[in-house]
């Protein structure tokens, strides 16, 4: 499998994302969150390089004191505590998942 990894100094496409990675965020709790142009986000645990979860994203944002990610209400992160919000979008209600 190592032979199939890119060998250039820089590359624009992640083999774990379906489209170009456009956003990266590192949290205080050692998660790396990557987002791609097709609207998907992926959660990575930095210390173990463990892939945690992929979600289709409606929107996401970062606050000064804590990082939150918004996803469709039907999707959950295993082991994470979800807090339902009152935000409505064309895709349905959002659920904000605290990842700190």
pLDDT surpassing 70 at residue 36: yes
Provide the 10 A C-beta neighbour count for residue 13: 12
The half-sphere exposure of 76 on its side-chain side, counting CA atoms within 13 A, is 7
- Per-range mean pLDDT, top range of 16-25, 46-55, 69-78, 82-91: 16-25
Has this prediction a pTM greater than 0.85?
no
Look-up of token digits 């949290």:
27
Please indicate whether residue 30 or residue 97 has the higher confidence score (pLDDT): 30
DSSP state of 3: G
SS3 annotation, 56-81: EEEEEEECCCCEEEEEECCCCCCCCC
DSSP state of 7: -
**50, two tokens:** 């463990």
Please indicate whether residue 76 or residue 54 has the higher confidence score (pLDDT): 54
**8: exposed, middle or buried (C-beta count within 10 Å: 0-12, 13-18, 19+)?**
exposed
Please indicate whether residue 41 or residue 10 has the higher confidence score (pLDDT): 41
């Amino acid at each position: 499998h190592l032979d199939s990894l890119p060998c250039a100094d820089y590359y624009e496409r992640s083999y774990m994302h379906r489209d170009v990675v456009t956003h990266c965020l590192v949290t205080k709790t050692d998660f790396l969150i990557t987002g791609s142009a097709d609207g998907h986000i992926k959660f990575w645990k930095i210390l173990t390089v463990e892939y945690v979860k992929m979600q289709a994203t409606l929107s996401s944002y970062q606050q000064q004191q804590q990082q939150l990610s918004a996803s469709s209400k039907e999707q959950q992160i295993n082991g994470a505590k979800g807090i339902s919000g009152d935000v409505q979008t064309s895709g349905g209600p959002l659920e904000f998942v605290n990842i700190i």
